[in-house]
Structures are given as structure tokens and as C-alpha cells.
């Protein structure tokens, strides 16, 4: 997937950053912060949490259904909250998962209710 937005870190570099952190429990419950940092933004995203981000993206018609391309942000509900992970393609995602650690997982094992967006952080810096 070609970057459609100018993030400080490109898609493959963002995925490499995440893969280097597999097994870490330091990011538990910080799914949005983890993705923001992966794409190279050091400061706040401007959204309160993943649910706030999802609502903003929906309001601006930036969400898509169906298979998420590599590098897309995948928004899903698990353990009674909205979470975000990054697509590796082929139905796989990476990020801090509900079990507590950064891992690679099959998206459908996490949730069947998901949407995706380009890696967009319009308020981050």
C-alpha cells in the first residue's frame, strides 16, 4: 500500500518498528499511542482514545470495509473497547493485543467487526 498521507515514517518502516516490539507488554491498552509512534509521531494524536479517533474518521468518511491492505490501520472492538492495530496484509495485524502484549494475530481471531483506514493522524506532530 502506498502512503497516501505524509507520515514521518513510511509504511514498511512503521511495520518494522512494530515487529521489533513483538512480545513487549509496555504498550498494554495504548493501541492508538503505539500506532502513532510507529508512524513516527512523537506527540499527541489529538484524539482522546481509539473510540474518539474512530468517530472522527467515520465523520470524515475515511473508513473502509473489507480486507485491509498492508499498512492500513484496522479498527476493531474487543474486550468492550475500540482498539487499533496495523495490517500486515493477508488478514494479519500487529499491535498491542487484548491479551496485553504486542503480537501478530489473525484479525478474525480478534474480531469479526472491523473497519480500516489509511494511517492517518491529522492532529499529530
Q: Taking CA 90 as the corner, what is the angle to CA 102 and CA 59, rounded to the nearest 5 degrees?
A: 75
Kindly state whether residue 6 falls inside one of the protein's structural domains.
no
In a domain? residue 2: no
Mean pLDDT (10-residue bins), the chain, 125 residues: 69 98 95 95 85 96 97 94 97 95 97 95 81
Residue 99 lies in a domain: yes
Q: Is residue 122 part of a domain?
A: no
Domain that holds residue 106: 11-117
pLDDT score, position 74: 98
Cβ atoms of residues 86 and 27 within 8 Å: no
The answer as to whether 5 is a domain residue is: no
Site of grid cell 512480545? 23
**Nearest-5° Cα angle at 12, 116 to 43:** 70
pLDDT given at position 94: 99
Share in percent of the chain as helix, strand, coil (round to 5): 25, 25, 50
What pLDDT does 122 receive?
Answer: 86
The CA-based angle 89-109-72, given to 5 degrees, is 30
| CATH number of the domain residue 87 falls in | 3.90.1720
Per-residue pLDDT, 42: 87
**What is residue 2's predicted lDDT score, i.e. its pLDDT?**
41
CA distance 115 to 85: 11
pLDDT given at position 5 = 55
Residue 46: the pLDDT is: 82
pTM: 0.92
pLDDT at site 3: 42
Q: How many domains does the chain have?
A: 1
Amino acid at each position: 500500500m502506498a502512503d497516501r498521507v505524509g507520515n514521518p515514517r513510511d509504511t514498511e518502516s512503521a511495520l518494522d518498528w512494530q515487529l521489533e516490539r513483538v512480545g513487549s507488554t509496555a504498550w498494554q491498552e495504548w493501541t492508538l499511542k503505539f500506532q502513532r509512534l510507529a508512524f513516527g509521531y512523537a506527540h499527541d494524536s489529538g484524539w482522546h482514545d481509539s473510540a474518539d479517533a474512530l468517530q472522527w474518521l467515520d465523520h470524515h468518511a475515511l473508513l473502509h470495509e473489507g480486507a485491509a491492505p498492508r499498512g492500513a490501520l484496522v479498527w476493531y472492538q474487543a474486550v468492550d473497547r475500540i482498539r487499533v492495530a496495523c495490517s500486515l496484509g493477508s488478514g494479519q495485524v500487529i499491535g498491542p493485543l487484548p491479551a496485553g502484549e504486542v503480537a501478530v494475530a489473525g484479525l478474525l481471531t480478534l474480531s469479526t467487526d472491523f473497519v480500516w483506514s489509511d494511517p492517518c493522524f491529522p492532529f499529530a506532530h
